[in-house]
Amino acid sequence: MLDTLKVRIYPNKGQQEALAKSFGCSRFVFNYYLNKTNTQYEETGKGMSYCDMAKDLTQIKKLSDYEWLTEVTAATLQQTLKNLESAFKNFFSKRARFPKFKSKHRHQSIRYPESCSIKNGGLKLPKLGIVKASISRSINGKIKSVTVSQTSTDKYFAAILFETDDLATAKQGKISSIDLGLNSLVTVFDGEKFSKVDPIKPTRRYAKRLRRRQQALSRKKKGSLNRQKQVKRVARVHEKIANTRQDSLHKISRKLVDENQAIIAENLCIKGLARTKLAKSIHDAGFGMLLNFIGYKLEREGGIFLQVDRFFPSTKLCNGCKFKNNSLNLSVREWVCPECKIHHDRDENATQNLREEGIKILSTNTVGHTEIQACGEEVRLVGTCTKKRSSVKQESPVTAQA
C-alpha cells in the first residue's frame, strides 16, 4: 500500500534559485499548453493529448528562445503535462472545474516522479542534491514521488509518496457517534457517557491582528517593496489561523481514533451549510477537514468510519419514543418530547440517534437504509451518501449546530 509523509525542507540559496526556476518552468509549460489546447480545440474541435504535448515540448526545447527549459529536470515538466491532461479529464467527467492558468503569486509546487531518496538525513532530489529536511519518521519502502511546494510565507515542504508494508489489522475498541456543531464542535457518545469539545474559533481569535495587518496593507503603494513585505505579513497571519485549526483538529481526531474501533457521523452537506448566514463559523470550524482526518486515520488502523445519510432526522427524532419533532428551529438547544415527556439536550439526543442508526446499518449491512424518512417520502439512497434526492432537506439549517 502507499503512504504519504509531508515534511518541511530547508534548501540553501542555490537550491532555492533552482526551485524557483523549476516552479517558473512548470508554470510556463502548464499555461502554454493550456492556451494551445484551448486554441486548437476552438479551431479543430479536438484538444491535445499528453503524447501530443510531450512531442511538442521536445521540439520547443530545441528553439533558442526556449533553451532555458532545459535547465530543469525533464521529468517534472512531463509530470506537469500529465497533470494538465488529468485536469481536462476531470473536467469532462464533471469531477472538477475547467483548468485555470497558474499564477506565481499563488501556492507553487512541482512533482519529482523519480530518482528521489533519503540520504544522510536529508532528501535527495534531481539536480538539487541533498536538501536539508525535518523527517519525523523513517521511510523504509520505495519512494514513488516527491512533491515540493512553496507557501506564500516562503516556507518549503515536500510530500513524500512511498510504499509501505504496514497492513491494517482489526482494530479493537468502542463504537462511538459524533455530532458536529458550532456551540460544541464535537459531541461524542460511546453508549455510556457523553463528552463535548469546545470550538477553538481561530479566525475570531486572530481577527484583530489580521485586521491591523490588512489595514496597513491597504495604505501601501501598489508595486512597492513595502507592499510586498506587508503581503507576507498578512499571509503569516492566515498561515497561523490555518495551522491552529489544523493542529486542533488533528488532536481531536487522534483522540477519537485511539479510543474507538468504529465512529459514526452524519454525512453533512458542507457546501450547503457554507451558503447560509453561518458561513464564516462553518468554515472556521473545519467540519470537512475533521471528518477527513477521522476517516483516513481509522482506515490506516483498520477501523470503521460510517457516515449516516444526511436525510436521517437525527436532531428532530426523540431517542426514547421515536417521535419526530418538526417544530425545532436553530435556536432551540433543549426540548421536551411532547409524547414521552423526556428532556433532551439537542446535541446529545442527535448522537444517540446517530449511534443507534449506525449500529443498525453495520449489523444489517444495509448501508444508507433508514426506516424513517426525513421528509416523509421515498428517497433513493446510494451507499452512505445520497446522490439523487426528490426534495430539499427540511432540517438542513438545523444541522448546522446539531
**Same structural domain, 12 and 144:** yes
Q: Judge if 375 and 260 occupy the same domain.
A: yes
Q: In what order do the strands lie in the sheet with 117-119?
A: 108-112, 143-150, 156-163, 2-10, 129-134, 122-125, 117-119
- Per-residue pLDDT for 143 more than 50? yes
Same domain? For 193 and 100 the reply is no
Q: Catalytic residue at 52?
A: no
**Based on the domain organization, do 390 and 280 belong to the same domain?**
yes
Last residue of a domain, one of 163, 187, 216: 163
Asked, for residue 194, whether it belongs to a domain, the answer is yes
Query: Which residue is catalytic, options 179, 284, 348, 357?
Result: 179
**Residue of 266, 309, 356, 357 marked catalytic:** 266
- Which residue segment(s) compose the domain that 101 sits in? 2-163
Task: Catalytic residue, from 347, 348, 356, 395: name it.
Answer: 347
pLDDT at res. 82: 95
Amino acid occupying residue 399: T
357 given a catalytic annotation:
no
Collect all residues with Cβ–Cβ distance below 8 Å to 245 and sequence separation of at least 6: 200, 202, 284, 286, 289
Q: Is the pLDDT of residue 131 over 90?
A: yes
* Residues 206-231 pLDDT 10s: 999 999 999 999 999 998 999 999 99
- Residue listed under C-alpha cell 430539499: 392
Amino acid at 139: I
Q: What is the pLDDT of residue 395?
A: 40
Cα distance between residue 113 and residue 145, in whole Å: 4
292 and 251 assigned to the same domain: yes
pLDDT above 90 (res 165): no
Instruction: State residue 384's pLDDT score.
Output: 40
Q: How confident is the model at residue 168 (pLDDT cuts 50, 70, 90)?
A: low
Residue 206 falls within a domain, yes or no? no
pTM: 0.79
Mean pLDDT value of segment 134-156: 90
Residue 169 included in any domain: no
In a domain, residue 239? The reply is: no
374 and 285 fall within a common domain: yes
Q: How many domains does the chain have?
A: 2
Active site residue 345: no
92 and 183 share a domain? no
Average pLDDT over residues 177-203: 89
Residue pLDDT, tens place only, 287-313:
999 999 999 898 888 888 988 888 888
